[in-house]
Structure 1
């Protein structure tokens, strides 16, 4: 009997011809998800748009009883000018920038090292330490304010940048997230590196960290945003006006003549603008990091 060979027919294409993939059908579940996402987006964007419009109104138009998206007197930068005249916005922004960057960098180093040790190294008390880390995630941060303040006072760090930075570099949740991600990295890569004579720190620096760029970027962005938005701890730990961060400094320029709606919205936009820029530039890393981390539980 002659041997026959079964071959899969492949469509022939001319040079330069593009093969079009069949479109995926839109299911009811996907359509419902799109509708829900659109509704949530509108619910978030409408207040943000209203705050932006109010920031560019005059105080008379912003305080008027009649609600209007287009102010009768036209748009103006008076609210922003009042904020810049009443406070040292560039200095406060710089303080927030370098303290948030320092917190992010130190947090990444500490969290990554702890997570790697919990993921790859067996030692006594490992399970107890992991339990303590998970339990500390549910502790409300305000509970730790008084102990941390006395600790900084004992170290004579009050009214220094380190009083703002050091208490914010420990993030148990980030340790847990990184540990779950490191657990997914194949151990065969490390075993091959050990056979080649690589040390533990070299494996961590040249194998683990390069493979963990998406989650490290996501963690860095979340930590930076949290540090930038933190108001309570910088407010408690500093009294020097030259050390005020932007959220704290903006609260010191409130008017004594009642609520200034346009000025308040302008202050809120100035505080949120850097975070919006960070999200626009790194949204792919955020989404990729979150989706990659979610695989650990599957």
Structure 2
């Protein structure tokens, strides 16, 4: 009596799933490599251009090694332009923006996550609507507001607008919603006030959200150009982006000096990202932002 051996579709299905997973991983790796090259090529070109002299850049703009390399453009840019003052201004403004944004947006996110009050749904809707509103649309109303408050030409005109950040409120609100409700109820039963629950229970837990908001706020504040250009009217009070834009002269562009100043401008952002990239990834993963 003969037996008929049936094929094993489960094994074939498993093998095809493994092949599909490998193909997907290779596709993701290829896309990641292409995006990395798209970002790295301008960076490498700016770095090599800053190490060359203007004569070789004009004659051979696409060559990376023509004319040799030197640090003359960096020393010239640092000695000629107030880059140190621009660095200090950007650092002070960015740090203050981070401190105030983390403090106020975390309190707003905590209130929307745990407190029940009249108009809570409308406030959440306004926060969500603020995510879709471009910052350029707020330039004129903010300029009129801060001019009436006599804050134009001060650091506060740059710090205060970044405090009311809907995306930061959304990040904290999403993270606070993920905290187990029994933990909050246990703290309330023990007699803790809402302020104590916020400061002693929730804030130590939401370190990933704090890191994410702090880093994104720092980068956004450091790269801001339009609003500081309108608000700050003194050269020594300018930030890095506004100061770098003032170096470009249509009649005589010093390519090496401009590129050297640009490299000096974005090096702090690269350092911040490389140091805190794990916190950024963890914060985005835990808050559920896509």
- Residue correspondence of structure 1 range 1-298 to structure 2 within 5 A: 27-65=22-60, 67-71=62-66, 73-255=67-249, 257-294=251-288
CA distance in 2, matches of 1:168, 1:195: 36
Post-superposition Cα deviations, 1:150-199, rounded to whole Å, max 9, x if no partner, equal 11111111111112211221101111121111111101111111121111
What is the DSSP-based 3-state SS (H/G/I as helix, E as strand, rest coil) of the residue aligned with 1:41? helix
Q: Which runs of 5+ in 1 are unaligned?
A: 1-23
Q: Which runs of 5+ in 2 are unaligned?
A: 1-17
* Per-residue deviation, 1:86: 2.7
Q: Assess if the C-alpha contact under 8 Å between 2:240 and 2:265 holds in 1.
A: yes
Q: Assess if the C-alpha contact under 8 Å between 1:83 and 1:253 holds in 2.
A: no
Regions of 4+ moved over 4 Å? none
What is the DSSP-based 3-state SS (H/G/I as helix, E as strand, rest coil) of the residue aligned with 1:63? helix
CA distance in 2, matches of 1:83, 1:257: 18
Aligned length: 272
What is the DSSP-based 3-state SS (H/G/I as helix, E as strand, rest coil) of the residue aligned with 2:59? coil
Q: Assess if the C-alpha contact under 8 Å between 1:181 and 1:293 holds in 2.
A: yes
* Per-residue deviation, 1:123: 0.7
What is the DSSP-based 3-state SS (H/G/I as helix, E as strand, rest coil) of the residue aligned with 2:133? coil
C-alpha RMSD of the superposition: 1.8
TM-score, scaled relative to structure 2: 0.89
Residue 167 to residue 272, structure 1, CA distance change in 2 (3 Å)? same
TM-score, scaled relative to structure 1: 0.87
CA distance in 2, matches of 1:82, 1:66: 21
Q: Which moved more, 1:172-181 or 1:115-124?
A: 172-181
* Per-residue deviation, 1:94: 0.4
Post-superposition Cα deviations, 1:34-72, rounded to whole Å, max 9, x if no partner, equal 12111211221122111111111111122224521212x
Higher helix fraction: Structure 1 or Structure 2? Answer: 2
CA distance in 1, matches of 2:271, 2:116: 42
